[in-house]
Structure 1
């Protein structure tokens, strides 16, 4: 009888051991899959998002220099009824700085408007992301700095027509109608009240160059530098 109980106990222990190992293996595999889902950019490398993005409607390049990532000519396109990307630019672009990739509206973390003169940069407060800024050069900004919270988690366009609006860009008005980034204004994205990323908005124009001095029309192609606080 004792021998029977001993054998049963051993079988049970082995069974629990195998189950535990299986769960551990599942966790390792899950972490591995999540890690591989990111767009990886090596130091000194430039990747083409059109080729590597997990979305079908994202365009642009990312270059990494040390800890700083440079997103250039970023834009997204509408998706047709057939589920494929069209050649029509979307009115709002979505990007995940942690993943180095464009995302869908359903996974909204950060959105950037791209319609008319609307360049609103917005974070998703429901997911714990908040927006603030500091008038300090990007390279000098640290996580320990004091930041000013953005009203409604939004930074957009400021101009002489809206003197009380604080944004990341200036609208020059007539006759040139240009949208220009505010010099040395660094955007801060926080996650659960902890500084997460610092952002430098550079330009809304293709290749960061306006195609003409009066009313340029080669937008929106966002140029953004970003770095994670660690």
Structure 2
């Protein structure tokens, strides 16, 4: 049993927890490379800075985003899509770093999805008060590959629902270094993140960073 960094919450979770068929939580899976991930993120976001994208309905997203990989996920008046170019700079997104590819492949294999090679990583920055409403990851061409989601920094409440938006989601606490993988029967599960609470992390400060690896093309 270990005392969490925030409040009196005690982390008594097992290293691997099943969330649903095809969905697994890998506790602290990425924590041992936290310093390397933080340095790599600084380099990536100096090339492709965080920005608050606008939804097709004209709403400014509370979560700031960037991307790396062959394509990046973007949203604007034209809709949701993957684009090989950063719309703010007109340049290609930074390539996926080797450390990112290795982490995503290892996590997917641990969750039962061997051979996962992502071509896109959405980088989300949450600050206190930001949230992400329930949605499906369905802009990809092939749903046979899993989603690999890495949590860094402040803890968050992950909402993991069902096949319909109306399905009541489970509320799952995610700590720094946790990785969630979902695919197969759970690939199109509705999911989101509850409003982030205040806090301070020794490496990432008052924010949460989420890396979402996908096979988009």
**TM-score above 0.5:** no
TM-score (norm 2): 0.31
More strand per residue: 1 or 2? 1
TM-score (norm 1): 0.29
More helix per residue: 1 or 2? 1
